[in-house]
């Protein structure tokens, strides 16, 4: 049997002018508030039907950088009153490792205004991976396939291993169950090194896991990335996350997962050199750009897009226009955890 080899080039950012192919729509707002989230949600809401899951990283206890509770509460209560937040238990030992501990963490962080389904609480199931090279199927929470549609609501930030955590990471790791699926992604077969899969191979495994889930939902899955409190650390690190230095940018949304993640990365690269340096270094040093190129290879979306400014009647704008008003350094806003609880 031929040895499987990962792709290359995950350390290199591909500028917009070097890309080719079709274009998708990506909506953008600078309004980092519950109202801004509600307005941008309306642009992609028509794709959601039936029983709706909201895939959200609910964070470790007192996590300082997760999407503010007030944002999500407003969205659920005003736009998705019958929706359910979905999560899975973690692969690492901690406050979300078991369902009991996970429920306690959910309560501490205030996710008490709608149902929360820990989808692997009662078991696991498999979804097929079409055209994958690492997997033919991915293990996910047992209840995931019971939903008709999914809103992927993502805090965009860095990631210790993935380089960045966008919609792809939120689904690929976040929908894989805590014992089998996450092990398939992170741990080399037969190894006792839990985190042995790194760089391009890890990015490809995450992406194939994501593909299993979004293929299941078909056209009834949409994506929102919130570019706020963008530490180079994932929200899995909780209060131990590296301090935020990258300035807040806004919110992007699309029905195309590659377009929404690529736009998020592009916006970071459009920042002045010093402002975006930390997050750019994190992405490049972990070879995180392979998430994007592999999504493109697997036909999961387009890496070219129209950036539509909902603050200006959906006028198409450049990346430079989008970040023109962004501050040079990060400043905490009124929604910080310490101020909200």
The pLDDT > 70 percentage for the chain reads 99
- Does 56 reside within a domain? yes
Q: Which residue has the tokens 């014992």?
A: 179
- Does 8 reside within a domain? no
- Does 168 reside within a domain? yes
The answer to whether residue 80 scores a pLDDT higher than 60 is yes
Give the model confidence (pLDDT) of 223-234 as tens digits: 999 999 999 999
* Owning domain of residue 147: 16-340
Sign of torsion over alpha carbons 284, 172, 237, 55: positive
The answer to whether residue 268 scores a pLDDT higher than 60 is yes
Question: Could you tell me the two tokens for 230?
Answer: 């963008």
Name residue 43's beta-bridge partners: none
- Does 10 reside within a domain? no
Q: What mean pLDDT do residues 319-324 have?
A: 98
Looking at residue 339, its pLDDT comes to 44
Give the model confidence (pLDDT) of 33-63 as tens digits: 999 999 999 999 999 999 999 999 999 999 9
How many residues in the chain?
Answer: 341
Give the model confidence (pLDDT) of 181-223 as tens digits: 999 999 999 999 999 999 999 999 999 999 999 999 999 999 9
d(Cα 234, Cα 164) in Å, to the nearest integer?
A: 8
Give the total number of structural domains in the chain.
1
287 to 4, 12, 206: CA distances (angstroms): 18, 7, 13
The pLDDT > 90 percentage for the chain reads 97
d(Cα 326, Cα 307) in Å, to the nearest integer?
A: 17
- Does 140 reside within a domain? yes
- Does 319 reside within a domain? yes
d(Cα 40, Cα 251) in Å, to the nearest integer?
A: 8
Mean residue pLDDT of the chain comes to 97
Looking at residue 4, its pLDDT comes to 95
Closest CA to 230 of 166, 281, 158: 158
Q: Which phi and psi (to 5°) does residue 32 adopt?
A: -90, 80
Looking at residue 340, its pLDDT comes to 43
């Amino acid at each position: 049997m031929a040895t499987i080899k990962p792709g290359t080039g995950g350390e290199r950012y591909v500028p917009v002018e070097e890309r080719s192919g079709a274009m998708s729509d990506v909506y953008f707002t600078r309004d980092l508030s519950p109202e801004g989230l509600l307005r941008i949600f309306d642009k992609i809401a028509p794709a959601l039907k039936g029983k709706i899951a909201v895939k959200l990283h609910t964070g470790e206890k007192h996590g300082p950088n997760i999407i503010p509770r007030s944002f999500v509460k407003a969205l659920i209560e005003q736009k998705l009153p019958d929706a359910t937040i979905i999560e899975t238990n973690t692969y690492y030992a901690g406050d979300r490792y078991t369902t009991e501990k996970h429920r306690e963490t959910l309560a501490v962080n205030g996710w008490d205004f709608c149902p929360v389904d820990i989808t692997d609480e009662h078991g696991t199931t498999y979804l097929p991976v079409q055209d994958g090279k690492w997997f033919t199927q991915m293990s996910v929470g047992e209840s995931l396939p019971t939903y008709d549609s999914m809103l992927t609501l993502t805090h965009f930030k860095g990631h210790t291993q993935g380089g960045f955590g966008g919609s792809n990471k939120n689904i690929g790791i976040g929908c894989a169950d805590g014992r089998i699926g996450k092990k398939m992604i992170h741990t080399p077969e037969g190894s006792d090194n839990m985190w042995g899969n790194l760089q391009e191979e890890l990015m490809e495994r995450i992406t194939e896991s994501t593909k299993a889930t979004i293929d299941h939902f078909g056209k009834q899955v949409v994506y929102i990335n919130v570019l706020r409190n963008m530490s180079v650390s994932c929200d899995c690190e909780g209060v131990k996350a590296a301090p935020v230095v990258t300035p807040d940018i806004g919110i992007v949304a699309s029905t195309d997962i590659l377009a929404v993640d690529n736009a998020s990365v592009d916006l970071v690269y459009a920042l002045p050199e010093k402002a975006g340096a930390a997050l750019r270094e994190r992405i490049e040093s972990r070879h995180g750009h392979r998430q994007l190129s592999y999504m493109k290879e697997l036909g999961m979306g387009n890496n070219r897009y129209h950036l539509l400014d909902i603050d200006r009647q959906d006028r198409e704008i450049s990346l430079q226009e989008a970040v023109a008003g962004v501050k040079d350094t990060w400043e905490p806003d009124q929604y910080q955890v310490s101020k909200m609880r």
